Copies of this chain bind each other. A is one copy, B any other.
Amino acid sequence: VGVPKQRSLYKSLKNAAKLDAASPSTTQFLVDLIKHSLGELEKYEHQSLIAVNVPGKDYFAFLDPTKGKISRPVSVSLFDLDLCADRLDDFSSGAYRALPRASLEKLLYTMAMSFCCANDMRTSGDKKTPATFFECFVANIFSRELGVLPTTKAEVLNLDMQATLPTDYLFNLGPGKAKIHLPIKISTRERVVQVWAHQRVLDGVYGVGRFRGVLVVITETNLVKGGKVTEVCLPDQWKVYQMFISQLKRIYYLDLPMKYANLAKTYPFLQVKSFAEFFREKDKLISATVE
A: residues with CB less than 8 A from B are 156, 158-161, 163, 165-166, 191, 193-194, 196-198, 200-201, 203-205, 236-237, 239-241, 243-245, 266-267
Contact = CB atoms under 8 A, between A and B. Distances in A.
A244 B205 contact: yes
A34 B198 CA distance: 39
A204 B161 contact: no
Given A156-B240, A239-B158, A267-B160, A245 B197 contact: yes
- Top 7 nearest A-B pairs by Cβ distance? A204-B244, A197-B197, A163-B236, A193-B197, A201-B244, A200-B245, A156-B240
> How many monomers of this chain does the complex have?
2
A201 B241 contact: yes
Nearest to A236: B163
13 contacts: A158-B243, A159-B267, A161-B239, A166-B237, A191-B191, A193-B194, A194-B194, A197-B197, A197-B241, A197-B245, A204-B243, A204-B245, A205-B244
A160 B243 CA distance: 13
Given A158-B267, A205-B244, 13 more contacts: A158-B243, A159-B267, A160-B267, A163-B236, A163-B239, A163-B240, A165-B240, A193-B197, A194-B194, A197-B245, A200-B245, A204-B245, A245-B245
Nearest to A237: B165
Nearest to A191: B191
Main secondary structure of the interface of A (DSSP, over half): helix
Given A194-B193, A239-B158, A200 B244 contact: yes
A148 to B, nearest CB: 25
A173 to B, nearest CB: 23
Contact of A161 (B161, B198, B236): B236
A279 to B, nearest CB: 31
A165 B245 CA distance: 14
A201 B266 CA distance: 20
A193 B159 CA distance: 23
A275 B156 CA distance: 31
Contact of A197 (B165, B196, B267): B196
A196 B266 CA distance: 27
Contacts of A161: 236, 239, 266
